[in-house]
Amino acid sequence: MLDTKLYSFLKVVQHRSYTKAAEDLNLTQPAVTQHVKKLESYYDCQLIQIEGKAVHLTEQGKLLYTYANFQNANEEQLINQMNKVRTPIKIGATLSIADYYLPKYLSSYLNQYDEIPSVTVKNTKSIIELLLNNELYCAFIEGIFDKSLFHYYELINTRFLPVARKGHPLEGREVSLADIHTYPLILREKGSGTREIYENYLYEHNDSLLSASKIFEISSFGVIKSVIKKTDAISFMYEEVAKKEVEKGELCYLALEGDSNKRPLYFIYPSNSLMKERNELFYQRLIQGYTI
């Protein structure tokens, strides 16, 4: 059973208000305030800062919020298990993986097992938030994540490449970042794994997006591919995302000098999740089913 003080703390953060939290909990506001103060006294640090009417978490408060969320969700799962209630496994996937890599694994899995997973598709940042809030059990993601918070497996190692129209001026030769920068660049929105990977790649090479001549943001790979087919714009994506169009002679992969182009796609779940055994079983069945 989650400690009353922790539950009050969760409600204050969720509502961003002591008053609304008190109404939700059917308590007085001083009582809720006292619960938070006792937590701050116990942990010997400030958890919440008030600026005007806004409630903000300190860095220590963010850590406690993640912990309390895990405890609350784990208790719900424990109660479900005790009552022999088996909920569908809730998994997340980033756009590249969901549309171009995961279907072949899920197809084999669904042909062998009765369980039908619930799949949520969002960008990497949103998927991580859902995992930390215990709204998802596990996820398939690209990009960078805090490995101290998650147990993870490398699902596949695949090429991450610059893609352009067939017949692009840079096709057929080894190109540099300086070459790439002379053409319009199309990226997905902030928070997406592909964008984060490219920005990190630039950082590793003492470069940044400021070097690009033009940058356009498009969240859909379908739209991105349609645009680069008809322009000299370049985008970065995983090999499988553009494979069909490359094979049809509509797009091409550009050869970026000095780069192995290999990037991992991951299966992850929170390290202290009560759903560990179920997540592990799901992943092992998924992998084994596809390799059979």
User: Per-residue pLDDT for the chain (292 aa), expressed as one digit of tens each?
Assistant: 668 888 888 888 888 888 888 888 888 988 888 998 998 898 899 999 888 778 889 999 899 888 888 887 777 776 666 655 567 789 999 999 999 999 988 888 888 887 778 899 999 999 999 998 888 999 999 988 999 999 999 999 999 999 999 999 999 999 999 999 999 999 999 989 899 999 998 998 899 999 999 999 999 999 999 999 999 999 999 999 999 999 999 999 999 987 767 889 999 999 988 788 889 999 999 988 665 4
Tokens representing residue 255 in the block: 């050869």
Alpha helices in the chain (DSSP H): 4-15, 18-25, 29-43, 59-82, 95-100, 102-112, 124-132, 177-181, 193-204, 221-229, 239-247, 276-291
The residue with tokens 């008190």 is 22
The residue with tokens 């596990």 is 138
The residue with tokens 């220590």 is 60
Q: Is 289 exposed, middle or buried (0-12, 13-18, 19+ CB in 10 A)?
A: middle
pTM for this prediction: 0.69
